[in-house]
Amino acid sequence: MDCDTAREALSARIDGEREPIPGARVDEHLAGCPACRDW
């Protein structure tokens, strides 16, 4: 997953909207991407 996709999903999560991809995939990306964790 690229950072733009992960951040779009995170934005949806924060806003209480349905995430466009499974949350587990986003969490997996966050675990390995310091830039997205800091975003």
Question: What amino acid is encoded at 22 in this protein?
Answer: P
What domain count does the chain have?
1
The predicted pLDDT at position 19 comes to 87
Question: What amino acid is encoded at 19 in this protein?
Answer: E
The model's pTM: 0.80
Q: Tell me the C-alpha distance between 10 and 29, whole Å.
A: 11
Q: 30: domain range?
A: 3-38
Q: Tell me the C-alpha distance between 37 and 25, whole Å.
A: 14
pLDDT tens digits for range 1-35: 999 999 999 999 999 999 889 999 999 999 999 99
- H-only helix segments in the chain: 3-14, 23-32, 34-38
